[in-house]
Amino acid sequence: MPTDHICVGAFSGSYGVKGEVRLKSFCADPEAIAAYSPLTTEDGKHSYAITITRSIKGALVARVEGITNKEMADDLKGIRLFARRGQLPALPDDEFYHADLIGLTVLDTGGTVLGKVHAVQNHGASDLLEIMPSTGGNTILLPFTREVVPTVDLTAGRIIADPPEGAL
């Protein structure tokens, strides 16, 4: 079930003493995050107009309207930033927003329910689906590749997976 807001980034702390912030962008083109400004918190209660000033290793540096000093910038650390789905580009058939995958039922190729997608992780190499097993217990991590996940059916709310031997 698609959500109307998609997480596109997060504040990761201050940068310098003049109110600039470190901004982690989750966009394919990191600087594209500025095109979706103003960004909001998940609940929509707070809005942030941002302007990218430069790129640094692993992040962007940005100015946020109304933030004028280091302390104010520090207070933003950890806030996740959301854009309205309508602002974002349409994706090709084989690409998905992470928010659309969370909550989908995961079945193996034989039709046995494995669980539900709890989160989508990415630690640098590629995306991993974190699945909460229907039988309980620890979550399962599956590579989100065409080989392991041949079918994603958003309309039916399900994913068909062919987990590697020993993954379960």
pLDDT of residue 78: 95
Q: Beta strand pairing status for 5-15 and 20-25? A: antiparallel
SS (H, E, C) 88-108: CCCCCCCCCCHHHHCCCEEEE
24: domain CATH number? 2.40.30.60
Task: Tell me whether residue 156 is in a domain.
Answer: yes
| DSSP bridge partners of 142 | 129
Q: Which residues of the chain have pLDDT under 50?
A: 1-2
Number of domains in the chain: 2
pTM > 0.85: yes or no: no
Picking from 34, 63, 87, the residue at the C-terminal end of a domain is 87
What is the domain extent for residue 142? Answer: 98-161
Q: Is 158 exposed, middle or buried (0-12, 13-18, 19+ CB in 10 A)?
A: middle
pLDDT of residue 36: 93
Task: Tell me whether residue 105 is in a domain.
Answer: yes
Smallest CA-to-CA distance from 133 within 105, 97, 160 is with 105
Q: Beta strand pairing status for 80-84 and 5-15? A: antiparallel
| Claim to verify: residue 37 and residue 109 sit in the same structural domain | no
| Claim to verify: residue 82 and residue 108 sit in the same structural domain | no
